[in-house]
Amino acid sequence: MVTFKLNGKTVQGEEGQYILQVAEKYGVEIPTLCHHKALEPAGMCRLCTVELFDGRRSRFVTACNYPIWDGMEINTDSEAVHQGRKLIIELLLARCPNVPVLQKLAAKYGIQEPRFKKEEDDCILCGLCTRMCEKMGNSAISLTGRGVEMSVDTPFHVQSDICMACGACASVCPTGHITLEKIAREITKKKATLIPSEYDMGLKGRKPVYVPYAQAVPNTPAIDRDVCMHFKTGGCKVCTEFCGVNAIDHSMKDEIIELEVGAIILAPGFQPFDPSRFDNYDYANHPNVITAMEFERVLSASGPTGGHLVRISDHKEPKKIAWFQCVGSRDTNKCDNAYCSSVCCMYAIKEAVIAKEHAEYDLDCAVFYMDMRTHGKDFERFYNRAKDDHGIRFLRSRVHSVTPISGSDDLEIRYVSESGEAKTEIFDMIVLSVGLETPPETIALANKLGIALTPGNFARTTTFQPVATSKEGIFVCGAFQGPRDIPQAVVDSSAASASAGEMLSSARNTETKEKEVIPETNVAGDRPRIGVFVCKCGINIAGVVNVPQVRDYAATLPYVEYVSDNLYSCSQDTQDSMADIIKSKNLNRVVVAACTPKTHEPLFQETLLNAGLNKYLFEMVNIRNQDSWVHKNNPALATEKAKDLVRMGVSKVALMQPLKEAELQVNQTGLVIGGGISGMISARSLANQGYETHLVERDSKLGGQALNLYRTAKGEDVQKELAILIEDVTKNDKIHVHLNTTLSSVEGFVGNFKTNISSNGESQSIEHGIAVVATGATSLVPTEYGYGKDKRILTSLELDRKLIEKDTALKDIESAVFIQCVGSREPERPYCSRVCCTHSIDNALELKKLNPDMNVYVLYRDIRTYGEREYLYMEAREAGVIFIRYSLGKKPVVELTDGKIFITVTDHVLGIPLRIETDLITLASAIVPYRDEKLAQFFKVPLNDDGMFVEKHAKLGPSEFATDGVFLCGLAHYPKPIEESIAQGQAAASRAVTLLSRKTIHTSGTVAKVDPAICSSCGVCVSICPYSAPSFIDASARMFPGKAQINAVLCKGCGLCVASCRSGALHLQGFDNDQIFSQIFALSEAG
Amino acid sequence: MSEWEPKIVSFLCNWCSYGAADLTGVSRMQYPPNIRVVRIPCTGRMSPKFALAALREGADAVWVSG
C-alpha cells in the first residue's frame, strides 16, 4: 500500500498505480481526453496535469501516467492547476474549434474565444485510436509525420490491407475525428459496416459483446466470436478490464454434452422469407421497402426509431403506407412456397391498426391482399374493426411492381384493381408481409434425425398424431410443424410435451432431486431486526444512484440492524453470504433494494428460506428498473428517490408477518366432459400418463362431430381412425366412460372437485382433481339458400354422410355447387368457422374424382385454406373446380323451379350475374357453440359473445381456464379441424398433468383473511370476488355462523374484497392496510 | 424562486402497470424522478383511503394504474 495526500486528504493506493486511478477511486474528478482504462496511459492530451509537491518543491505531472509514491502530495484543484488546464484547453480549442467536447470544456473553464489562431482540425493527436488499434492486435494506424505535420494515418496514406474495420478507433476517438465513414473512405480496404442487430432486423447495429434483446433469458451478455477482435487477432480483451467480477473467460471452448433422453421435441421455429430476390418490389435497394418484421421494430418503443413511426430513408413521418400480402407465400412463380403462411393477414392488420394509433395525424394504411385470412378466434372481429372503425383500406390485388420516384424517397406502385383496371398509386413506405419458411439448417437437422418433411419443408405429421414426426419418439411443435400463430404454437407445444409424457410416464419423477428444507425460525412477537441490502448491479444502479449514500441512509432508519451494499446481490456467492448474515446478525426482516420483484423476489425469498426465515418477511425495493435506468441524467434526484423507496420498504417490512402457505392434496383423478375427438384424446392422454379418468358423454356413443366426417384434408379415413380411438378409450382400464350422462352439480376447487353426474335417472358422485371441458359444438341448421325445401340442398356434414355411405347417385350429378360462409362471418355470427373452405374444396375434389365431367362450383367470400391446405385449393383449380367470389351484400340466390334448382351469382371478374342449373347444393354451414351456461357456472368459467368458452389467455393460455384446475379443448374453444382438436386435447391433458403430477399444491400466502368478530355478514365480498373465494360460514356452525370466510385455495390475493369490505373485517396478508399505509406515511421523511 | 416540482404517488397493479414500469426501465426510457411507486397486487386492492392518505402526506397527485 502506498499512502499519500490527495487535495490534503490522506489516501491509499496499490503499488504501481497511477495518480488518476487512485483519484477515481476516491471520487476526485480529473479531466482527461486520452485516458482509457484498458490502455497503457500515454500522457498525450495533458489535460490531467496536476500539481505534485515532493516535500521541497512543486511541479506539474500528468496524473494518468505518473506512478504514486509514499508521502507525495497531490493537488488537483489549485489555482495553478486550473490556469494550466485552462491554457491547454484553449490551445486544443484553437486547433479544433468545432469539436463539441472541447467547446463544452472551454465553456466550463470560462473560455469564450481562444486567443490563438484558429485552425480547422478535429484531431487533438491524443493517440487513443492508435493505442486502441495496437491493443486490438493490429496497428493499422499510427501517428505519422513530425511537428505540425503529425497526423493519425495509415502507412504511406494508402487504404490499409491490415485494418479489419473493427471500428475500435472510432469508438474511442474523443473528438469525432475518426468515424465509420472515414474508416471506410480512408483507412480500410474492407467493408466497414455496423454489425447488424439480429433483434432489430439489421435496422440497427450491435456490439460484439451483447445481450440479444432486453428481455432475453438468460439476460447475460454473450461474445459473438465471429466478430470479436480477440478471436481474430488474439488482442483486445478490453471487456475483461471493465467486468467487475471477472466473469469473462475468452478461453472457454464449445463443449459437446451428451444427454440420455427418452423423447425429443423439435421446436426450431421458422425464418422470415427474404424478399431480396423479388426485384419488382425493390426491397434489396430501397430503404423504404421493408419487411413486416422490420416494421415491427419500427413500431417498437425499444426499436431503432424509438417507437416513432418514421420511414428509414429520411426519418420523415409517412403519410401513406401499403402492405403487400403473400410475399413468399402462395407463390410458385417467384419462389417455391406454395403454402399459405397463415399468420400474415392478421399481423398486417395489426400493424396497420397500431401504425394508425401511433400516428397523430391522418395516416392512410392500405393492405393489398388476395384472400383475407382471419380464421382465428376473434380475428374476424378485429378485421371488421380495422375496416369499419380504423378506416384501413383493403384492396384485393397482387401488386405488380414498385418504382422509386426519382427526386424523392416515395414509391409508386402498379396494380390491377378488382374491376380489372390498371392503377398506380404513390406511397411513402411499403411493408412486405413476408411468409414463414423453414431455414436450411432446420432442414439439415431433420435430415440428420431422419424425419420426413412435407412439400413445404415442414415436419410431416398425421391428422391423428399431429405432433408426432415420422420417427418414433421425436415430436414437433411450433412453426416447424407448419406455419402457425402463437395460440396454435402454444397448443402444439403442450401437445408435444403430453405426447412425450405418455411415452415416458413410467420414468416420471425418477430423476428429480429433493431440496433440503431448513426449519423456520419463529419470529412471532420479536422486535423487528431489519437487514437492508443495497445492490449496485455492477454499474446499472451504482452508475447513477449513489449506493453508499443510500446504504448509509438506510442504517439510520428505525429497526434497521444491518446494512450493506453488494456488487451483484443476485450472484450465488452474495446469496450465500446474505443467508449467513441473516443468521449471524439474527435478522428477522429483510429489504433488498435492487432490481424488480417481478423477476427477483422469488430468488431472495429462497435466500430467506435458506436462512430459516419465513419468505414473506421480505420486501424488495425497485431502485434499478424504476429508478437508475429511468433517471440516468439525474443522479442526485435518483439517489433521493432510492432513499425514499428504501424508507418506504423498511417501514412496510417492519409490519410484515410470517405467512403460511396452505398445502393441499391433489386428487389424482381427471374428469373429461365431452366424448368427442378432443375429449377422448384428452382422456386417453391422462390415462396413458397414469391417471384415472372419467369421460362423460351426453350422447349414447363416443365420437362427437367426427362421426359425421368423411375424410381429413390429408386424405385419412376419419371413420377408420375414429373407430381405433374409440376402441383405445373403451379398452383402457384407467378410463371410465359414462354415456348418456350429464353433470348435475359441481363443488370444490382445484385438486378437490366433487361432481355429481346423472345417467338415466341414476346419480353418481365423482371426486376429481382436474376437469377438462371438451363439450364441442354443432352445425348450424341453415335458414337460407332453400335449405330444407329440397333434398338436393345439403349441409357439408350431410354430403359427408353420403360420401361415407358411398352414395352411388353422387357420380351421376352433372353440376354441384358449394356455398361458403353459410351463417359464418355474418353480423349475428361475426366469426369464421375455420374448417369450411378446406372441407368444401376437399369434397369438391372428391366429386370431381367420382365424375371428372361434373361441373363443380365453389361460391366463396375469401378462400381460407391456411397452411399447407393451400395445396388442395391449387389442386381443385387445376382439376377444373370453378371458384366464384360473392360479397356479403350480394349473396347467391337459389330458385326452385319445375323440380330444377337454379342458383344465380354475380361473377367477380365479369361483373355480370351467372345462372347455374345444379343438381346438388352443399352449404358450408357455420360451426355453432352450445353456449353451455350451466357448465360455465358449474366451473365458474366465462363464455364469450358467440357462446364459446373463454380461455385463460388468448395467446399464451389457449387450453386452460383462468379458474385453476379446469382445462379446455376442441370446438368448445373455437371451430377447428381434427388435427387441431387432437392437439388441443393433448394440450389440455398436458396442462392438467402439471397439476396432477405435483400431488400436493401450495397456495400463496398473500391471500385475504377474515376477522369474523368484525364481519357484518353484508356479503359484498361474496358477491364481488371473481374467483368465488369468500363464502358464508354455515348458519348452523358453532363458531361465527353466517360470517364470511375465505377459501385460501381459490383466493388469488387481488384484494378486491379487502378494499370493498365496509366493516374492515377483511385483510390482505402481505398487502394489508397498515402495511400500505406505512409506505404512504413514509413518503416524506418527516412522516 | 426554485421551480416547483410535483410529488406524485402511484399505485401500480403488480400484473400490468408495475410490469410496464419495469419494462420502461429495461427499454431505458427516461422520465422525471417525481414518482414514488407503491406496488399493489391488483387495482382491486386500491382503497380511496390510500389516495386520501397520500394527498394528506403531501403528495400533489395520486396516480392509480392497472
**For A433-445, how does the pLDDT look when each residue is reduced to its tens digit (9 = 90+)?**
999 999 999 999 9
Domain A779-928 in CATH: superfamily? FAD/NAD(P)-binding domain (3.50.50.60)
Is a pLDDT exceeding 50 seen at residue B1?
A: no
Q: Are A941 and A963 in contact (CB under 8 A)?
A: yes
Cβ distance of B22 and A1058 shorter than 8 Å: no
CATH of domain A530-653: 3.40.50
Please report residues of A whose CB lies closer than 8 A to that of B33. 627, 630-631, 634, 637-638, 640-641
What is the full DSSP assignment across A401-425?
A: EEEEPTTSS-EEEEEE-TTS-EEEE
| CATH architecture assignment, domain A2-108 | Roll (3.10)
CATH of A1003-1081, one of 3.40.50.150, 3.40.50.300, 3.30.70.20, 3.10.420.10: 3.30.70.20
Q: What is the pLDDT of residue A485?
A: 96
At the top level of CATH, the class of A665-776+930-1001 is: alpha beta
φ and ψ at residue A167, rounded to 5 degrees: 85, 5
φ and ψ at residue A898, rounded to 5 degrees: 50, 45
ipTM exceeds 0.85: yes
What is the full DSSP assignment across A148-208?
A: GG-EEE-GGG--BSS-----HHHHH-SSS-S-HHHIIIIIBSS---PEEPTTTTTSSEE-S
Chains A and B form CB pairs within 8 A to the count of 118
Neighbours of A133 (CB within 10 A): 25
Q: What contacts B41, CB < 8 A, 6 or more positions away?
A: A1006, A1053, A1054, A1055, A1068, A1070, A1071, B13, B14
CA A667 to CA A686: how far, in whole Å?
13
For A265, the grid coordinates are 421435441
Q: Are A683 and A729 in contact (CB under 8 A)?
A: yes
pLDDT in tens, B2-42: 688 999 999 999 988 999 999 889 878 899 999 999 999 99
| Nearest by CB: B41 against A596, A1053, A1084 | A1053
Comparing CA positions, the residue from A849, A843, A872, A481 lying closest to residue A714 is: A872
Cβ distance of B41 and A1071 shorter than 8 Å: yes
Q: Where in chain A is the domain with CATH 3.40.50?
A: 530-653
Q: What is the pLDDT of residue A508?
A: 87
CA terminus-to-terminus distance, chain B = 37
Query: How far from A501 is each of A468, A497, A506, A686, CA to CA, in Å?
Result: 13, 6, 9, 10
Q: Are A540 and A599 in contact (CB under 8 A)?
A: no
Give the strands of the sheet with A411-416, arranged side by side.
A401-404, A411-416, A422-427
Neighbours of A153 (CB within 10 A): 17
Q: What contacts A511, CB < 8 A, 6 or more positions away?
A: none
Comparing CA positions, the residue from A334, A332, A376 lying closest to residue A483 is: A376
For A523, the grid coordinates are 419470529
CA A223 to CA A949: how far, in whole Å?
47
Q: What is the pLDDT of residue A962?
A: 86
Angle at A1019 between CA A1018 and CA A1024, to 5 degrees: 135
Q: Which residues pair with A453 in a beta bridge?
A: A459
The residues on A that touch B, with CB distances below 8 Å, are: 214-215, 301-302, 596-599, 622, 624-627, 629-634, 637-638, 640-641, 644-645, 648, 1006, 1053-1056, 1058-1059, 1068, 1070-1071, 1073, 1076-1077, 1079-1081, 1083-1084, 1087
Q: What is the pLDDT of residue A579?
A: 95
Instruction: Give the residue from chain A lying closest to B41, CA to CA.
Output: A1054
Helix (H, G, I), strand (E, B) or coil at A60: strand
Please report residues of B whose CB lies closer than 8 A to that of A1055. 40-42, 44-45
Find which of A626, A1007, A1071, A1075 to mutate to test the B interface (most B CBs within 10 Å of its CB). Answer: A626
CA A787 to CA A799: how far, in whole Å?
13
Element (H, E) at A992: helix A978-996
CA distance A221 to chain B (A): 15
Helix (H, G, I), strand (E, B) or coil at A873: helix
Neighbours of A924 (CB within 10 A): 29
Q: Are A1048 and A662 in contact (CB under 8 A)?
A: yes
Q: What is the pLDDT of residue A1086?
A: 58
Q: Are A116 and A63 in contact (CB under 8 A)?
A: no
Comparing CA positions, the residue from A925, A654, A1077, A683 lying closest to residue B45 is: A1077
pTM: 0.84
Query: How far from B66 is each of A163, A955, A1075, B6, B18, CA to CA, in Å?
Result: 54, 20, 20, 22, 8
At the top level of CATH, the class of A272-437 is: alpha beta
What is the full DSSP assignment across A710-734?
A: -B-TT--BHHHHHHHHHHHHHH-TT
Report the b/e string of A404-420 with b at 16+ CB within 10 A: beeeebbbebebeeeee
Q: Where in chain A is the domain with CATH 3.50.50.60?
A: 272-437, 665-776+930-1001, 779-928
Q: Collect the ranges in chain A with pLDDT lower than 70.
A: 1086-1087
Instruction: Give the residue from chain B lying closest to A638, CA to CA.
Output: B33
| Nearest by CB: B21 against A625, A1055, A1076 | A625
